[in-house]
Amino acid sequence: MNSNQPFSNQQEKWNDQETPRAGLGSHDGAMADPELEPVLRDFRSSVYAWSEAVYQRPRLVEVAPRRTAWRKAVAWALGSVLMAGGVGGGLLEYQHRQEQARIAALREAEHQRQLQQEKARQAEEELARVDSDIAREVPDALEPLAQLMSADDSQ
What is the chain's pLDDT, residue by residue, as a tens digit (155 residues)?
Answer: 444 455 555 555 555 554 544 444 444 455 568 888 999 999 999 999 999 988 888 888 877 666 677 888 889 999 999 999 999 999 999 999 999 999 999 999 999 999 999 999 999 999 998 888 777 665 667 777 777 877 666 65
* pLDDT recorded at residue 33: 83
Please state whether the predicted TM-score (pTM) of the whole model is above 0.75. no
**Is 79 a domain residue?**
no
52 and 99 housed in the same domain:
no
Smallest Cα–Cα separation from 43: which of 32, 54, 51? Answer: 51
Say if 62 falls within a structural domain.
no
The answer as to whether 52 is a domain residue is: yes
Residue 69 domain-assigned (yes or no):
no
| Residue 148 within any structural domain of the chain | no
In a domain, 63, yes or no: no
The tally of domains found in the chain comes to 2
Whether 26 is covered by a domain: the verdict is no
- Domain limits at 6? 1-19+31-57
Q: Is 117 in contact with 125 (CB distance < 8 Å)?
A: no
| Nearest in space to 40 (alpha carbons), one of 10, 26, 25, 19 | 19
User: What is the per-residue pLDDT for 134?
Assistant: 78
Q: HEC profile for the chain? A: CCCCCCHHHHHHHHHHCCCCCCCCCCCCCCCCCCCHHHHHHHHHHHHHHHHHHHHHCCCCCCCCCCHHHHHHHHHHHHHHHHHHHHHHHHHHHHHHHHHHHHHHHHHHHHHHHHHHHHHHHHHHHHHHHHHHHHCCCCCHHHHHHHHHHHHHHHC
- Residue 113 forms part of a structural domain: yes
